[in-house]
Amino acid sequence: MRNFMYRKILPIFFFLFAFLTTGAIAQSDDVVIIDSKYSQRQEILDSLPAGTTVIEIKAISNPWKSIREYLEQNRSKQVVHLFANTNYNAVKLGGKTYDINAVDQEFEFSMLEGLYQGSHIQLLIYDCNLGSNPEGMALLKKISDKSYFNIAVPTNCSSVFGAELVFDHTTMDQPISNSIFQ
């Protein structure tokens, strides 16, 4: 009886355990950060793959501090998918508007640099506005320089949904992950 269990059931158990563990690890490096006032918030939440870690940013505290504290506690997270309202030269997050001057004043960006562990955290900004003009690109470069994040943004899109969304600009010219919807 014991010999049968070792030869038949135990290998199946180990295979299933390895398979499930590999699947969990493969998805464990992504986190979605969404502003509570994001105009397409509910659509995004309804469209995310099952099991996606979602952090909602509210106007209670500094949004970049909240992101830093989460990433410090979850070192395996290497890809941040950010959904926030923007315009051509600013990101609105946690009730604050971050334009180029506000980025210069934000101390938390330099604190984010402390998360660098030999590879840059990827920050994918889901927006069709910032990447389409020089002011938006300058803002992203400034945030990247201060935080040490490899920031990616699409430069030509009409929607943040679907497989056609391509992050074709990065601030550090490094490979980037695909959209969370692919």
Domain ranges for the chain, please list them.
28-170
Reading the block at residue 53, the tokens are 């870690």
Compute the 3-state secondary structure of the chain and give helix, strand, coil in percent, each to the nearest 5: 40, 20, 40
Kindly compute the dihedral angle of the four CA atoms of residues 178, 126, 119, 174, in this order, to the nearest 10 degrees. 70
Which residue has 């504290």 as its token pair? 69
Task: Count CA atoms within 13 Å of residue 174 on its CB side.
Answer: 14
Exposed, middle or buried, 161 (CB in 10 Å: 0-12/13-18/19+)?
Answer: middle
pLDDT on residue 115: 82
pTM here? 0.82
Q: DSSP label at 62?
A: -
Q: Do 67 and 111 meet the contact criterion of CB atoms below 8 Å apart?
A: no
**Number of H-type helices and E-type strands within the chain:** 7, 9
pLDDT on residue 173: 85
pLDDT on residue 20: 47
d(CA 81, CA 65): 16
**In sequence order, which ranges of the chain are alpha helices (DSSP H)?**
2-4, 10-26, 41-47, 63-73, 100-105, 108-112, 134-147
The verdict on domain 28-170 having CATH code 3.20.20 is: no
pLDDT on residue 113: 81
pLDDT values of the chain reduced to their tens digit, one per residue, 182 residues: 555 555 555 455 544 454 444 444 444 589 999 999 999 999 999 999 999 999 999 988 899 999 999 999 998 999 999 999 999 999 999 999 999 999 999 999 989 887 876 778 999 999 999 999 999 999 999 999 999 999 999 999 999 987 789 999 999 988 899 999 98
Q: Which residues contact 67 (CB under 8 A, 6 or more apart)?
A: 33, 55, 57, 80, 112
